[in-house]
């Protein structure tokens, strides 16, 4: 078995992500939980640079890349033609932009996209972008067994490859403005929808923590763990060969907090400019 390092959502912060991953490439399996693209105020050039990094990272043998809701938007498989011959996206997410789509797919080939997975299992842990929920993955007889999950993932992957919408992938829960009870593996909200499942351990991102990695576990009664690592790259999650786990500080600031502060300052500066206008009236 491999030692594993899990890296959370990136949102164009690929320089920092690569800095982290390169520390572990020779000693660990490195798993990325997705959301490589889209950030507040980003440009097509930002997307192009992220795509160049992702293309190179996909070819590194000890890395696993998972699909996020901000990534599937740009996949070559995410469109169909309507009755009028117009292209329509199958999965939608805020932040999507046609200019970004164009430059991303100038860089990313179909074979590059095909290397990105919806989920991964290793060392007794499941990994996905937003998390597994029994609502979508529990079998009435098998429960949340690996067989049951693999069956659902196989159907979801087939639908994706056939450009057919699949709720296991794309369902959005009501708490995030969707129509479903809970989100699928690209949309599940860790704070408002996730639940612990006995004998099931998983790591995912998607729901920003605004702090450090969020660990929700019950090792005594349930042998269960939900680990939300969407912490703006300020920490990574390590699982050793025996399944034991812990967090590691990266010594980087949580980029969600720094982005939030930048937006606050920009807003305050805009208010100041209005004050100057009013003074001169």
Q: What is the pLDDT of residue 201?
A: 96
Q: What is the pLDDT of residue 260?
A: 63
Using the predicted structure, report yes or no on whether residue 155 has a pLDDT greater than 90: yes
Least Cα distance to 116 among 74, 150, 144, 79 occurs for 74
In this prediction, residue 274 has a pLDDT band, given cuts at 50, 70 and 90, of very low
| E strand map for the chain | 4-7, 29-32, 63-65, 79-81, 87-89, 119-122, 125-128, 201-204, 214-218, 224-228, 235-239, 245-249
**d(Cα 177, Cα 192) in Å, to the nearest integer?**
13
* H or E segment and range at residue 197: none
**Burial profile 133-157: b = 16 or more Cβ within 10 angstroms, e = fewer:** bebbbbeeeeebeeebbeebbeebb
The gap between the terminal CA atoms of the chain, to the nearest Å, is 71
Highest mean pLDDT among 41-50, 81-90, 265-274: 41-50
Three-class secondary structure of residue 237 per DSSP:
strand
Neighbours of 25 (CB within 10 A): 15
**d(Cα 46, Cα 67) in Å, to the nearest integer?**
19
Using the predicted structure, report yes or no on whether residue 265 has a pLDDT greater than 90: no
- Which sequence spans correspond to the domains of the chain? 4-254
Using the predicted structure, report yes or no on whether residue 276 has a pLDDT greater than 70: no
**d(Cα 130, Cα 180) in Å, to the nearest integer?**
15
Highest mean pLDDT among 65-74, 88-97, 220-229, 250-259: 65-74
Using the predicted structure, report yes or no on whether residue 240 has a pLDDT greater than 50: yes
How many residues does this entry show for the chain?
281
In this prediction, residue 261 has a pLDDT band, given cuts at 50, 70 and 90, of low
**d(Cα 15, Cα 278) in Å, to the nearest integer?**
42
Q: Which range, of 65-79, 91-105, 138-152, 214-228, averages the lowest pLDDT?
A: 214-228
Domain at 4-254: CATH code: 3.60.21
Mean pLDDT value of segment 221-232: 93
Question: Residue 265, Cα to own-chain centre: how many angstroms?
Answer: 27
Mean pLDDT value of segment 68-82: 95
Q: What average pLDDT does the structure give for the chain? A: 92
Predicted confidence (pLDDT) per residue in 78-113, tens digit: 999 888 888 899 999 999 999 999 999 999 999 999
Three-class secondary structure of residue 240 per DSSP:
coil
Using the predicted structure, report yes or no on whether residue 192 has a pLDDT greater than 90: yes
Q: Report the percent of the chain where pLDDT is more than 90.
A: 83
Q: What is the pLDDT of residue 81?
A: 87
**With 0-12 CB in 10 A as exposed, 13-18 as middle and 19+ as buried, what is 217?**
middle
**d(Cα 255, Cα 210) in Å, to the nearest integer?**
9
Using the predicted structure, report yes or no on whether residue 15 has a pLDDT greater than 70: yes
Q: What is the pLDDT of residue 1?
A: 74
Q: What is the pLDDT of residue 29?
A: 98
50 vs 259: which has the higher pLDDT: 50
**Are the C-beta atoms of 71 and 115 separated by less than 8 Å?**
no
DSSP state of 74: T
């Amino acid at each position: 078995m491999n030692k594993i390092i899990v890296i959370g959502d990136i949102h164009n912060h690929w320089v920092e992500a690569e800095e982290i991953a390169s520390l572990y490439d020779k000693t660990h399996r490195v798993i990325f939980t997705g959301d490589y693209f889209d950030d507040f105020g980003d440009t097509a050039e930002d997307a192009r640079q992220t795509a160049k990094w992702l293309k190179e990272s996909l070819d590194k043998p000890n890395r696993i890349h998972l699909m996020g809701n901000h990534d599937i938007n740009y996949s070559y498989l995410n469109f169909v033609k309507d009755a009028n011959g117009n292209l329509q996206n199958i999965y939608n997410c805020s932040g999507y932009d046609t200019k970004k789509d164009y430059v991303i797919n100038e860089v990313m080939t179909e074979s590059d996209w095909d290397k990105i997975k919806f989920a991964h299992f290793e060392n007794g842990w499941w990994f996905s972008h937003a998390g597994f929920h029994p609502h979508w993955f529990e079998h009435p007889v098998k429960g949340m067994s690996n067989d049951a999950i693999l069956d659902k993932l196989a159907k979801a992957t087939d639908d994706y490859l056939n450009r057919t919408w699949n709720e296991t992938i794309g369902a959005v829960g009501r708490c995030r403005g969707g129509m479903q009870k809970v989100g699928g593996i690209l949309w599940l909200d860790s704070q408002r929808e996730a639940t612990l499942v006995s004998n099931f351990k998983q790591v995912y991102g998607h729901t920003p923590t605004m702090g450090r990695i969020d660990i929700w576990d019950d090792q005594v009664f349930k042998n269960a763990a939900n680990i939300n690592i969407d912490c703006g790259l300020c920490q990574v999650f390590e699982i050793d060969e025996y399944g034991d786990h812990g967090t590691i500080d990266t010594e980087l600031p949580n980029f969600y907090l720094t982005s939030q502060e930048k937006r606050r300052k920009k807003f305050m500066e805009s208010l100041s400019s209005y004050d100057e206008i009013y003074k001169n009236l």
